[in-house]
Amino acid sequence: MIGAAALVAALAAALTLPLTAGAALPQQAAPQPETTYRVSGADTPEQRTALAARDIDILAAGPDRLEIRTTRAEADQLRAEGLGLTPLADPASLGPVVPRPDKVAEFPAGYTGYTNYAELNTRLAALRASNPSIVSVSNYGRSFLGRTLPLVKISDNVGTDEDEPEVLFTCAQHAREHLTVEMCLRIAERLVANYASSTGSTVNSREIWLMPMLNPDGAEFDIASNRFAFWRKNRQPTAGTSAVGTDPNRNWGYQWGCCGGSSGSPSSDTYRGKSAFSAPETARVFDWVGSRVVGGRQQITSHIDWHTYSELILWPYGYTSADTAPGLDADAAATFQALGRAMAQTNGYTAEQASDLYVTDGGIDDWMWATHGIWSYTFEMYPVSQSQGGFYPRDSVIARETARNDAAVDLFLGYADCPPRITGRTC
């Protein structure tokens, strides 16, 4: 991201240039290197929202911690404003960035246990091939760069649309959040493995859908050189600028761009796009979720969108800090909170309303809930800090940190017939 100071300087230079015919266009400011910092002194949602509004990339936040990624100049500015900033070492600093000759993007040493796009398709095909009666694999469209977007269904009688609660899991909206792809694979492979050995499985009573890589173009770009790119967005250029990428999780069409929880600057990491659903990656989910309205009723009752990092369980709304708002009454808020807390009991995450973190508009869960009535949560997985790897923990943690969510996933599937049941209400 280009720091605000650099942008101001570039604009000032552009404005003082004489507009004579044939004058060279002002040179674009070169992107400044960025560092991750632990921040003290910005502990309220309002303070964190104000930082996000300045296009500062918030990597992790929690009730008592904040990590951001920004330029040296911006860091100096924040210190001048009275915040405490401590630099954190980058994970996987493997030397200068050099494009790798590999045709297929692959993770570097220490990370090869992570699943790239090609490996994902292979794993899914293998899962289906050995369990064709309960697994189907298809796609719900293509990414901006034309990659097919994989879709998995797990249920008994998988080829039939049965009258069962449907549950959706989405992973890797954000490119660099690779651990979430492993989470979707864990859910799929564990449900299948347990099905053979148990009766009364949710595989019989639910229709479970997974979208294991919402943003494959970004995820592949992030691993395309010998050094992680810290990439978050998709890989769609913004017309009329040299900037690339829309933040999918600011591009959903409920209260899109309403409330200072996203950016209108194409170079920002939280760029909301030129209109809601301008990113093909969100538009295809929009289409597909719409196709699950059958006989006037949305079949999907419940949804989890997986992210990293901070170890949080979040629920709507993100766009407002109010506990109740149009479409979210006190009963619904109570259900979100009770089920969120019950799941957090099982994995040790912190459960809170999304806007308790900082205000975000155009997020997936606000849209799922407000427009489809889907009980939608965001999980922010391991770790809590870049000092534990941040977006890039070693592959040796995959098994432990995905299994950590097994009980939460089972609880969630169990309540999918009627989430308000957790508060004693009926459906």
Active site residues: 380
User: Is residue 357 involved in binding ligand CXA (CB under 6 A)?
Assistant: yes
Taking a C-beta distance cutoff of 8 angstroms, is the pair 398, 179 a contact?
Answer: yes
Within 13 A of 138's CA, how many CA atoms are on the CB side? 9
Residue 161 within binding range of Ca ion, rule CB under 5 A: yes
Decide whether 61 or 191 has the Cβ nearer to Zn ion: 61
Q: Which residues contact 65 (CB under 8 A, 6 or more apart)?
A: 38, 384, 385
Is the Cβ of residue 39 or residue 357 nearer to ligand CXA in the bound state?
A: 357
Residue 305 near residue 213 (C-beta atoms within 8 A): no
CB-neighbour burial class of residue 291 (10 A; exposed 0-12, middle 13-18, buried 19+): exposed
Q: Which residues of 48-87 are buried (b: 16+ CB within 10 A; e: fewer)?
A: bbebbbebbbbbbbbeeebbbbbbeebbebbeeeebebee
Give residue for tokens 């250029």: 237
Q: Is 176 in the site for Zn ion (CB under 5 A)?
A: no
Contacted entry of ligand CXA, Zn ion, Ca ion, none for residue 263, CB cut-off 5 to 8 Å set by kind = none
Give start and end residues of each alpha helix (H) in 142-266: 179-197, 202-205, 216-222
Question: Smallest distance, Å, CB 141 to Zn ion?
Answer: 21
Build a one-symbol-per-residue string for 372-411: x at contacts with ligand CXA by CB under 6 A, - elsewhere.
Answer: ------x-x-------------------------------
Contact flag: residue 155 with Ca ion (CB under 5 A): yes
Q: Which of 162, 323, 406, 417 binds Ca ion (CB under 5 A)?
A: 162
Question: Closest separation between CB of residue 178 and Zn ion, Å?
Answer: 11
- Residue 156 contact, options Zn ion, ligand CXA, Ca ion, none, Cβ 5-8 Å cut-off depending on partner type: Ca ion
Residue 353 binding ligand CXA, by CB under 6 A = no
Q: How far is the CB of 369 from Ca ion (least distance, A)?
A: 20
Helix or strand or coil: residue 289? Answer: helix
> Which of 43, 90, 156, 406 touches Ca ion by CB under 5 A?
156
Among 69, 147, 174, 227, binds Zn ion (CB under 5 A): 174
Determine contact, residues 246/233, Cβ cutoff 8 Å.
yes
Strand partners, 263: 271
The yes or no reply on residue 320 touching ligand CXA (CB under 6 A) is no
Burial tier of 346 (Cβ tally within 10 Å: 0-12, 13-18, 19+): middle
Site string for Ca ion, 271-300 (x = CB under 5 A): ----------------------------x-
Q: Is residue 360 involved in binding ligand CXA (CB under 6 A)?
A: yes
Considering only the stretches 80-88, 272-280, 331-339, 355-363, report the one whose residues sit in contact with ligand CXA under the rule CB under 6 A. Answer: 355-363
Region of residue 375 (phi > 0: left; psi between -120 and 50: alpha; otherwise: beta): beta
CB 260 within 8 A of CB 49: yes
Partner whose binding site includes residue 272, from Ca ion, ligand CXA, Zn ion, none (CB under 5 to 8 Å by kind): none
Q: Report the sign of the C-alpha dihedral through residues 313, 244, 215, 285, in that order.
A: positive
Which partner in Ca ion, Zn ion, ligand CXA, none is near 162 (CB below 5 to 8 A by kind)? Ca ion
Contact set for Zn ion, span 287-316 (CB under 5 A): 307
CA atoms within 13 A on the CB side of 380: 23
Q: Which residue, 131 or 268, has its beta carbon nearer to Zn ion?
A: 268
Nearer to ligand CXA, 164 or 365 (CB): 365
Residue whose structure tokens are 């829309």: 246
Does the footprint of ligand CXA cover residue 365 (CB under 6 A)? yes
178 binds Zn ion (CB under 5 A): no
- 361 DSSP 8-state letter: S
- Choose from Ca ion, Zn ion, ligand CXA, none: what does 357 bind? Cβ within 5-8 Å by kind: ligand CXA
Give alpha helix (H) positions in 101-244. 117-130, 179-197, 202-205, 216-222
Contacts to Zn ion by CB under 5 A: 174, 177, 307
Contacts to ligand CXA by CB under 6 A: 174, 177, 249, 307, 314, 318, 354, 357, 360, 363, 365, 378, 380
